[in-house]
Amino acid sequence: MAPTLSRRVSIDGIDLSPPAPGRLLPPRAFVSPAVYEAEMRRIFDRGWVHVADLPELRVPGDFVASTIGTTPVVVVRTHDGAIRGFVNACRHRGATIAEGRGNCGRQLRCPYHAWSYGTDGRLIGVPSREEFEGCDLGDMNLLTIRTATAGPMVFGCLDAAAPSFEEWAGELPVALQRARGDEMELAFEYTYDVDVNWKVYVENGLEGYHVAIVHDVLNDFVETKTARHFFESWSSYTHAFIKPDYREMIPPLAHLSEEEKTYVRFGHVFPNLIPVLAPAEFSYLRIDPVAPERIRLVARSFDLGGDLAGLRDFRREAIDRTNQQDIGVVTRVQRGLRARGLPAGAHSSFLECRIGHFEQMVSHALAVDASDALPAAATARVETSILREAVLREAHRG
């Protein structure tokens, strides 16, 4: 029998203990405001979250305002060329110092009382400074957050005690390096506001069960039943093989192995990033929680330019069509999850096995009190190993 690796946890009267193999979290876990607030504190505040992209941060002074859970953050290219991240709140009265994206020159300036900060976060300007004669302003620089990059993406972390980004992201940075991801340019982007819980949309991105039913272009493109699943401490991914007719569309790519040209890597980095690496391009979905039953969905696609840019029109239409199809079904899931008395559902043993992995991570994180350290990565690996063995047993049985 597998060891119990997470404490039993209940929030808002909902049992959020790790579900039994093949079972799902209770429906109320996807609608409860109390669960949502706990997720913001115990999941988003304590892990690595995608916040920006390198093509937005090309020259000194370029910035992107983003969020980690409910915390506003800003990422800046400093004048020594580094990428720095800060809590996006003026140390005077808390106003956000940046909105959207752009270039701030040599300083980030609060629009409320004009306190200003260098791109390194140091407080450099205070109007009527004599008014603060009795207050030591020397320690009132912007609050720093941890940052890391993988391919064209920038990640941020609020928690100094969280695992390293390399441990958190697993194999993804290596896969992006092989694909020359740090050289890629932004091809196009979409943003959608969707009335759905963030976990519902993440889980949609983790399974291939719905592909043949919901999607046309995606179903024509990849094979789901021969896919290979991989599980890591804080992430997972699937290699779904490209169908022969579409392999002919892939241009010559000398930097990839012959095997890498045969599959699409559908990934997940906990909590809310779905990175998709195909032979000729890289795309992602970032599921930003806005409210218990609302998200902002950010979809972007990148490529190496040149001849590969010729595929952009096809990709642009295909990605938007696929996203719209997903939005149509996940909003129906969200409405159904509100049904009074609805018991917890089930997930399939192969095509939806990564949902089980995700819900184990959610449950484990929610069981950690605010005063505790993050679960040890070794513990997460044990849970992953147990789940992997169960998935393999079911796959061989089938």
| Domains, in order of start, for the chain | 10-44+171-397 (3.90.380.10), 48-157 (2.102.10.10)
- One-letter amino acid of 285: L
Supply the pLDDT for residue 208: 95
- Please enumerate in sequence order all residues whose Cβ is within 8 A of that of 8, keeping only pairs 6 or more positions apart, or say none: 15, 17, 367
Run of H or E residues at 71: strand 71-77
Supply the pLDDT for residue 254: 81
Tokens at 331, concatenated: 């909003």
- Taking the C-alpha atoms of residue 152 and residue 275, their distance in angstroms, rounded to an integer, is 11
* DSSP symbols for 322-390: HHHHHHHHHHHHHHHHTSTTPPP-B--SSTTHHHHHHHHHHHHHHTS-TTSPPPPHHHHHHHHHHHHHH
- Taking the C-alpha atoms of residue 109 and residue 117, their distance in angstroms, rounded to an integer, is 6
Q: For every one of its 398 residues, what pLDDT tens digit does the chain have, with 9 covering 90 and above? A: 233 444 678 999 999 999 999 999 999 999 999 999 999 999 999 999 999 999 999 999 999 999 999 999 999 999 999 999 999 999 999 999 999 999 999 999 999 999 999 999 999 999 999 999 888 888 999 999 999 999 999 999 999 999 999 999 999 999 999 999 999 999 999 999 999 999 999 999 999 999 999 999 998 889 999 999 999 999 999 999 998 877 777 777 888 888 888 899 999 999 999 999 999 899 999 999 999 999 999 999 999 988 777 789 989 999 999 999 999 999 999 999 999 999 999 999 999 999 999 999 999 999 986 445 455 443 444 344 444 544 444 443 44
Q: Do 39 and 383 meet the contact criterion of CB atoms below 8 Å apart?
A: no
Burial grade of 293 (CB within 10 A; 0-12, 13-18, 19 or more): buried
Q: Do 74 and 120 meet the contact criterion of CB atoms below 8 Å apart?
A: no
Supply the pLDDT for residue 134: 83
Nearest to 77 by CA among 109, 55, 49, 48: 55
- CA-derived radius of gyration, the chain: 22
Tokens at 329, concatenated: 């079904």
Supply the pLDDT for residue 165: 97
- Please enumerate in sequence order all residues whose Cβ is within 8 A of that of 349, keeping only pairs 6 or more positions apart, or say none: 22, 390, 391, 394, 395, 398
Supply the pLDDT for residue 372: 52
Tokens 């409210």 locate to: 291
Supply the pLDDT for residue 247: 77
Supply the pLDDT for residue 206: 98
Run of H or E residues at 287: strand 281-291
